[in-house]
Structure 1
Amino acid sequence: MQSWMKYSSDWKIRCGMCSAPCNSSSVVCLGACEMGLPPNEVTTIVILIVVFFAVRMLIGYLASRKVNNTTDYIVAGRRLPIYLTGASIMATWFAAETLMGASSTAYQYGFQGVVFDPFGAALCLLLSGFFFIRLMRRGRYLTIIDFFERRFGKRMALAGSLIQIITYFGWTAAQIVAGGNIVHALFGWPVAAGMLLVAIIVISYTMMGGMWADTLLDFIQMFLTAGGITLIFVGVLNAVGGWDGLFANGGSLYVSKPFTLMPIAGEGYLGYQGSLGWTYWLGAWMALGLGSIAAQDLMQRSMSARNESTAVHGTYMASILYLVFGVLSPLIGIAMFALNPNIAPENSEFLLVTAATDHLSPVLAGVFIAALCSALMSTSDSSILAGASVFTENILPHFTKGKLTDKLQLRWTRIMVLVIGLMSLAIGLWAETIYKLSVFAWTIILVGMFAPFAFGMYWKKANQWGALAGFAGGWISWMITLPILYPTTLAINAGDAELAIWDATYIGSVPAFLVSVVLVVVVSLATQKVDVPKPLADVDGKPMAFKNRLGILPLRDALRKLRPEEVEQEEKETLKPVLPEESIQPGD
């Protein structure tokens, strides 16, 4: 996700058929001009988008009937089967701007340009499933911050909560901006009106159905986008002469070897050579590969699974699906270079749309493009719910007086879905500076939160002072490296300040991450007596053993029906009220 925040903020609809501005207010004429589509296909897309919007609202209403308490709303009652768990994780990350950005970036830089996503994202899901998901599900946490609070105390939990919420403000704003631009292109409305429409729909069905609504919609969304991208790839592959033609003629604008993920001799990685190029390459893998492990949206879906095996294998399933279908978009970009190597970089953003209209029937192309629009909402609802969950579970209890009943917490979570959705809309409309600052919060999760998370789960001596030192030290050292790297990245990017800042961000994250790791270890060891490490505990504060943490479980446990005693136990835990004193340990 992080690597495409810049792409989302710049996702503007451009004229695809002529250089003259389109003055028509007709939906069909405007869509045909601005997206470069035949009028009959624009009509199909508009109709399908309206249908998709209606279906989302209907499913949100139906899902609301399954919500009886906060656990139902935030983690679907921890009852998701493997197919819903895997599909939901995959569809949440399989965002529209990721698909379109991957084909455009691969057209310019080949596989080097998409190390971040899908390759880094698939790595993230694989590592999460193998090293972290099992204990997170065993702990029955509602948020990832619950883990930080139980393991390190309320100071680290509060710091992590603020970063997570800021991050999701920006990520949600990115989706709303992109959705508003698409509505503008297809319906002829002002972009602001399109953003408002998208925000209203997403907020409405998420408020009603919570995780149940999100999961059911993600499941449908996965089939539409994965099926569509597969059909497009088959059409493009045939056009270039099959696999032999793709490997013989496929290419990219700036990279001589489009199918390599490694730095290239004489070219380096994305224009950076030597140690700087290798550091950038490592940062590209880490940005999502490690940076998104300690993020609420991923963990929230894994914690919604019905048992540990389902959570683990659902994440593995998502990793495989994401890599298989995610790699098709960059392959389409490389193949499109073979078909037309003269597309200017600034005109390559709608490369995937062009491929769809060229190689699919009007109806199928319409379904796929409408599904891309709908995919924006799948990502938006995930980020809104993630931010709202963190606020009501980990921040609100610090300020409420008396007991926060489950009914009241559920009400507050729904209120925060509305608040976060509206604030994200406002950020997208007016607060460009805040929006760009929120982008950097994704990097702070990597440089500040991953090391405490990993050591907290795998090292008994990790304590709160070590976690806070790693969090603050990683962030501060990263901020120091940015101005040091900026002159170099600015020169390599020929004076393009925005690209220079992004390159410095990723390159600087590597040394900052190492600083965070060192500080967690050194400070924890130095403060063992003044800050005795807390045991690894579940959501009720009961210690969990430091064993059986790896994601090595028989698949049959994820596929079989739950035994009656297992269902009864889950229902007891689901219906248990959540009180402030349960989530804040005395003496923290």
Structure 2
Amino acid sequence: MTISTPMMVTFCVYILGMVLIGFIAYRSTKNFDDYILGGRSLGSVVTALSAGASDMSGWLLMGLPGAIFLSGISESWIAIGLTIGAWLNWKIVAGRLRVQTEHHDNALTLPDFFSSRFEDTSKILRVISALIILVFFTIYCASGIVAGARLFEITFGMSYETALWAGAAATIVYTFVGGFLAVSWTDTVQASLMFFALILTPVVVILSVGGLSDSLQVIQAKSLENIDMLKNLNFVAVISLLGWGLGYFGQPHILARFMAADSHRSIRSARRIGMIWMILCLAGAVAVGFFGIAYFENNPEQATGVSENSERIFIELARILFNPWIAGILLSAILAAVMSTLSCQLLVCSSALTEDLYKNFLRKKATQRELVWVGRLMVLLVAAIAIALAANPDNRVLGLVSYAWAGFGAAFGPVVLFSLIWKRMTRNGALVGMIVGAATVLVWKQYAWLGLYEIIPGFLFASVAIVVVSLLGREPSAAAQQRFSAAEREYNAN
């Protein structure tokens, strides 16, 4: 395939811009708090767009449109479940987590918060939660690298092996250099680019088919099942797709954005901005896949790429329908989605290794400068492992994401929720809940009982375990309950 010069130029300009932001952020990174949470200085707009961009990975522009193109509108149940889950996460978790982490020793990471919230002197909570983060996030990072590799492979005709490194290199550089501020500032740019691409592309696709009415007629003529919300779905399948929304309560890279807000008062405005962005982007992604059915039904000679891999649909439509300069910008949106999520995941893994393991077990008196550099080296280590996991060219983005999403949702989601709303929750309740949630996902995934998405039994069993074990154990100390109550009062005061 001939490499398009405009696309190459557009990609290079975009990537250089992101790296430049990383070096600008480097100058504002003075200590480990800055590197991991940006000194808790994010305003409502950056909080909202950064949370959205870090959430919606390459899955938004590849996995979801591909699933809709392959199976019809019935796959949009995932988008509905995610929208509900995200709104509840903003409403219930965001503000409370911002306040509670500050009241509990200014916790910088989720393991840090759990350890302080439950007065865990044994540090077992810190270790278990850090290990869960490392296992599932490394898989999640691999999904982002696969998406980036697919983009470079298709767009520039690279081998998959070369594309792996090309897709990951820029993200690794600006995350390594600039830390959380670089990740958050680039997320804001990337979220804007994703929004532009997902609004413009479906409009042009519809117009190219002849309008909305003609597009729907073509889709119906191909198969009425394409517009059936319950196509080949029973009750369990619908619940499984909606169950994706449960994952939001336990995603460390999204929760980190709430912790980094300049104040819990910023959360309300951030929620409105974030939800508008998310709903429009999800609607755009669904529309790309859905109306892509009509386009390729009318133009079967151009459908070779999507026939080989349905996750290519956004890429193929951008290349076919747009001027190469505009196509380059649109395809940069996929890279933006990949980079925004991958950078957040690398940073959370780095913080787990540095703050929760290195500092607490190896170098308790490490200087801030030392911790920042250890954090940077951990970014490189996790990236190398994720690239190795992504080396199989048969990997599918949606499959990798669903596994990691379920793991975090079940292991951390119930623990985060109960720790923020229930004063009576104990250390042992948190520990057992975390283990039960993670173990359920790992086992259920292997046996696929009932065809039910593993996050649902994982979330349910973890919640029951937390309540039962907490009620059977001794009440938390008076000091722990006072800290919880003080944080809750602060949260409710405004």
Structure-1-length-normalised TM-score:
0.73
Contact 1:96 1:373 in 2 (8 A): yes
1:414 is the counterpart of 2:414 = no
Contact 2:53 2:191 in 1 (8 A): yes
Residue in structure 2 matched with residue 376 of structure 1 by the alignment = 338
Change (3 A) 1:230 1:545: closer
Aligned amino acid, residue 202 of structure 1: T
Contact 1:123 1:319 in 2 (8 A): no
Contact 1:133 1:302 in 2 (8 A): yes
Contact 1:451 1:470 in 2 (8 A): yes
Residue in structure 1 matched with residue 422 of structure 2 by the alignment = 459
Change (3 A) 1:432 1:389: farther
| Residue of structure 2 aligned with 1:324, choices 275, 280, 289 | 280
1:128 is the counterpart of 2:89 = yes
Q: Secondary structure at the match of 1:399?
A: helix
Contact 2:250 2:411 in 1 (8 A): no
Change (3 A) 1:537 1:298: farther
1:157 is the counterpart of 2:157 = no
Contact 2:202 2:284 in 1 (8 A): yes
Residue in structure 2 matched with residue 581 of structure 1 by the alignment = none
1:79-116 deviation line (CA, Å, top 9, x unaligned): 12222222212222333342122222112223321333
Distance across 1 between alignment mates of 2:59 and 2:221: 20
Contact 1:84 1:216 in 2 (8 A): yes
Q: Secondary structure at the match of 2:225?
A: coil
| Residue of structure 1 aligned with 2:247, choices 268, 279, 291 | 291
Change (3 A) 1:142 1:195: same
Q: Secondary structure at the match of 2:248?
A: coil
Change (3 A) 1:401 1:483: closer
CA shift, 1:251, in A, is 4.9
Aligned amino acid, residue 235 of structure 1: V
Residue in structure 2 matched with residue 544 of structure 1 by the alignment = 486
Change (3 A) 1:536 1:283: farther
CA shift, 1:185, in A, is 3.8
1:41-95 deviation line (CA, Å, top 9, x unaligned): x221112112222222222112211111122211222112222222212222333
Aligned amino acid, residue 144 of structure 1: L
1:448 is the counterpart of 2:411 = yes
Aligned amino acid, residue 416 of structure 1: M
1:212 is the counterpart of 2:188 = no
Alignment of 1:160-239 (within 5 A): 160-239=129-208
Contact 2:74 2:226 in 1 (8 A): no
Residue in structure 1 matched with residue 114 of structure 2 by the alignment = 148
| Residue of structure 2 aligned with 1:518, choices 448, 464, 473 | 464
Distance across 2 between alignment mates of 1:424 and 1:485: 25
Aligned amino acid, residue 456 of structure 2: V
Q: Secondary structure at the match of 1:417?
A: helix
Query: Which stretches in structure 1 are left out of the alignment for 5+ residues?
Result: 1-28, 32-41, 489-503, 554-588
Q: Secondary structure at the match of 1:507?
A: coil
Q: Secondary structure at the match of 1:425?
A: helix
1:391 is the counterpart of 2:353 = yes
1:15-43 deviation line (CA, Å, top 9, x unaligned): xxxxxxxxxxxxxx355xxxxxxxxxx22
CA shift, 1:209, in A, is 0.8
Aligned amino acid, residue 448 of structure 1: A
Distance across 2 between alignment mates of 1:510 and 1:307: 32
Higher normalized contact order (CA 8 Å, seq sep 6+, divided by chain length) = 2
Change (3 A) 1:345 1:439: same
Aligned amino acid, residue 331 of structure 1: A
Distance across 2 between alignment mates of 1:444 and 1:165: 11
1:78 is the counterpart of 2:24 = no
Alignment of 1:447-526 (within 5 A): 447-479=410-442, 481-482=444-445, 485=448, 504=451, 506-526=452-472
1:288-312 deviation line (CA, Å, top 9, x unaligned): x121322211011222221112234
Distance across 2 between alignment mates of 1:123 and 1:282: 13
1:379-410 deviation line (CA, Å, top 9, x unaligned): 22111111111222222233124423323222
1:437-474 deviation line (CA, Å, top 9, x unaligned): 99744323222322222111111211112222222333
Residue in structure 1 matched with residue 67 of structure 2 by the alignment = 105
Change (3 A) 1:255 1:405: farther
Q: Secondary structure at the match of 1:142?
A: coil
Q: Secondary structure at the match of 1:350?
A: helix
Q: Secondary structure at the match of 1:349?
A: helix
Alignment of 1:256-335 (within 5 A): 256=225, 258=227, 260=229, 264=230, 267-269=231-233, 273=234, 278-287=235-244, 289-335=245-291
Change (3 A) 1:522 1:49: same
Equivalenced residues, count: 478
Aligned amino acid, residue 56 of structure 1: M
Q: Secondary structure at the match of 1:53?
A: helix
Contact 1:59 1:217 in 2 (8 A): yes
| Structure 1 vs Structure 2 CA RMSD | 3.1
Aligned amino acid, residue 521 of structure 1: V
Q: Secondary structure at the match of 1:78?
A: coil
Contact 1:302 1:315 in 2 (8 A): no
Contact 1:224 1:371 in 2 (8 A): yes
1:94 is the counterpart of 2:56 = yes
CA shift, 1:132, in A, is 0.9
Change (3 A) 1:180 1:130: same
Change (3 A) 1:303 1:509: closer
Distance across 2 between alignment mates of 1:474 and 1:252: 45
Contact 1:151 1:534 in 2 (8 A): no
CA shift, 1:210, in A, is 0.9
- Once the two structures are overlaid, the 10-residue window that deviates more, 340-349 or 230-239, is 340-349
Distance across 2 between alignment mates of 1:432 and 1:520: 38
Contact 1:126 1:316 in 2 (8 A): no
Aligned amino acid, residue 89 of structure 1: A
Structure-2-length-normalised TM-score:
0.86
Contact 1:535 1:544 in 2 (8 A): no
Query: Which stretches in structure 2 are left out of the alignment for 5+ residues?
Result: none
CA shift, 1:338, in A, is 2.8
Residue in structure 2 matched with residue 44 of structure 1 by the alignment = 6
Residue in structure 2 matched with residue 336 of structure 1 by the alignment = 292
Contact 2:148 2:335 in 1 (8 A): yes
Aligned amino acid, residue 334 of structure 1: F
Change (3 A) 1:350 1:250: same
Change (3 A) 1:185 1:474: closer
- Once the two structures are overlaid, the 10-residue window that deviates more, 393-402 or 476-485, is 476-485
Distance across 2 between alignment mates of 1:193 and 1:132: 41
Distance across 2 between alignment mates of 1:438 and 1:114: 16
1:535 is the counterpart of 2:480 = yes
Contact 1:461 1:533 in 2 (8 A): no
Change (3 A) 1:461 1:324: same
